[in-house]
Structure 1
């Protein structure tokens, strides 16, 4: 039965970004309805590792957002209802290692230190002390105590529980169809598969599908899908203590190459499984499993942690991440449609950046002083505005 409803803001997308924005808005007293054509956190969020990282970003706006978001996550977690507050948060820290020329990793760490990151260059022996099962080919490492991890589906679910507790609503299995606009062009509502919602603003948090929804709403943006795959081992005794990755990972994160790129990322979960990544491909929404990608992930992981060669892989999973051509998130109002907002384009960093993204959207919506400079993430930058 179609229903009618009213909200200040309708958030389209119930992944980690939409959930974080909805939670921050409701914490500030804004009336919010979240709609998603699927289940909560069933898209990009369900295909992530749960990384909350400062270690993988070059100095610049995204790193500044990551540093702020690492701190903001503590504030957000403290606001969650106690019954859902355990989102498997682990302040485990990260270890990045090089197995060839140590110079580039040392130089990258120095740049991050200058930008305010706690990046501690360590010897190979110190790396082995932190991670005894690492390959002995390590030449240098960098320890990042601020890197953390959480369970992304639990986190998104908990954030939306907080939204409901504050009087907000979450409509799962409901598709946002089109926005309604006044004669003057201002957004006044959202038409959905479950009925009309009268509202003053719509937030496009559709992840890899944000370009499609933006075009439907009159604000097309250049956000593309970039696929990533992850291997999951059988449960093991404690064997990987930190998030560990090779120095190639930073280059893969920042690359705009459409071809397959892989770099080694290894970390354990509370359940004892080990997650092995990471891959990046721009192949549209093709979700077919490519064995060559899985083989490459496994090969590189064994190169970093030789013991993994004898460990069975239980499953593999993957998903699409929202990629903006200039590698920066899209956060803020759309100047072409009054009342249309966007929060997307975080690619593989959405879990880590979600807390500050929610806070920044709330600050901009309410006219408060932003805690980070919003200009680099504005919608009307050349790399984002679609013709």
Structure 2
């Protein structure tokens, strides 16, 4: 059984832009396949595309349908910079492990960009630098140490003093780290593009179809659905986002609520290079611009309790985010034209879990996306693809289930 959650409320800005339709069929009979992917969101799309590219027969199911879960709720800052700063992550998992995770994140963003180009997916993809601003977690001296740690790991990082930050970006903070080559994109268009590529290779899509039980054997997995039919697969990939399947261990995984707004288009008022901006703070503010000049800004994260409590905070959180954005960028019109809230999973380290479920060696689970969901989804597609091809991804151990 998959845990049911109301993953978002309000109207995400991405609903203003038309995404391609992803066709689905009714699940009306028992079926067999090489791989069953559960979930038609960002992770499910990338995984289905990667596996069909290897010639595998793939079925994808979702209890809602394509792009209808948390996919539209993302603010789509596709960064290799993990939520957990490298210096802090090193204290949690060790320096070698932390450096490897950051480097893999960098590779994942580059690979995602290349794959979008190869497939010709039109999703307003644009390279963007990012600015990490000094805050209550890392001040100016902490950011200097962070920049040094990134350079030691082989990652480019430019430390900006308060004066340099003011002169180049017009932002008043004690310091910042400038990093290149992150990606701005439309997440719904991207996700639809990956799904359509998988369908073009023969993947079968069924919705609404809900996985209700999993029976593992040495040769495969039988998945019962709430609709009645049973799907027999050699392998199963759970790409259900923050709605965890009962078969997947929840240890180390928690669900967080976040809120976001988007302004009217105002291209002439945007900051230099339209860099992603986020804070080394807890909670932190993050913002980016859309292709048509809207400013998307989010934050005010809180531990998830229930949907009603989360939704009751919408008005207050929307006002607070707009006020924070106004203080950071006083020249902008910060009036929200869109406002929404959603949930995301995270782990104690901030790293995702991409691994076979203990005692279920034919079921992979992708969990704990944090603020780098799209980047981690790319990692998952690569790691799972290698595993099902009979190999062993060099970084797979970084993302194992906690002991």
With the length of structure 2 as denominator, give the TM-score of the two structures: 0.82
Contact (CA 8 Å) 2:40, 2:60: kept in 1 or not?
yes
Please name the residue that 1:63 is paired with. 102
**2:229 matches 1:206:** no
Q: 2:54 aligns with which of 7, 28, 39?
A: 28
For 1:42, what is the secondary structure of its paired residue?
coil
RMSD: 2.2
User: CA separation in 1, counterparts of 2:204 and 2:156?
Assistant: 39
Q: Deviations over 1:84-114 (max 9, x none)?
A: x111111021122337952122221111121
The residue number in structure 1 matching 2:214 is: 179
Deviation digits for residues 195-246 of structure 1, max 9, x if unmatched?
2212111111111112xx1x2xx34333332111111111112413333434
Structure 2 partner of 1:268:
289
Q: What is the aligned counterpart of 1:296 among 303, 320, 325?
A: 320
Q: Distance in 1 between matches of 2:319 and 2:266?
A: 21
Aligned counterpart for 1:317 among listed residues 330, 337, 340: 340
Give the C-alpha shift of residue 345 in structure 1: 1.1
In 2, distance between residues paired with 1:181 and 1:311? 52
Query: Any conservation in 1 of the 2:279–2:286 contact (CA below 8 Å)?
Result: no
Distance 1:283 1:355, change over 3 A: closer
Contact 2:80 2:108 in 1 (8 A): no
Q: Does residue 154 of structure 1 match 2:189?
A: yes
4+ residue runs of structure 1 moved beyond 4 angstroms?
A: none
Within-5 A mapping of 1:183-194: 187-194=220-227
Provide the residue aligned with 2:93 in structure 1: none
Report the number of matched residues. Answer: 355
1:75 aligned onto 2:99:
no
Instruction: Return the match for 2:299 from 270, 274, 278.
Output: 278
- Is 1:7 the counterpart of 2:43 in the alignment? no
Equivalent runs, 1:1-387 vs 2, <5 Å: 2-56=28-82, 57-59=84-86, 60=98, 61-80=100-119, 82=120, 85-98=121-134, 101-128=139-166, 130-131=168-169, 134-135=170-171, 137-182=172-217, 187-194=220-227, 195-210=229-244, 213=245, 215=246, 218-222=247-251, 223-238=253-268, 239-240=270-271, 241-249=273-281, 252=282, 261=283, 263-286=284-307, 287-290=310-313, 291-308=315-332, 310-370=333-393, 372-379=394-401, 381-382=402-403
Structure 1 length-normalised TM: 0.85
Q: How far apart, in 2, do the equivalents of 1:304 and 1:339 lie?
A: 49
1:349 shift after superposition = 0.9
Question: For the Cα contact (< 8 Å) 2:304–2:343, is it kept in 1?
Answer: no
- Aligned-partner SS, 1:271: coil
Q: Distance in 1 between matches of 2:362 and 2:135?
A: 51
Q: Is the 8 A contact 2:50 2:381 kept in 1?
A: yes
Separation in 1, partners of 2:155, 2:320: 31
Q: Structure 2: which 5+ residue stretches go unaligned? A: 1-26, 87-97
Report how far residue 351 of structure 1 moved: 0.9
How big is the shift at 1:347? 1.9
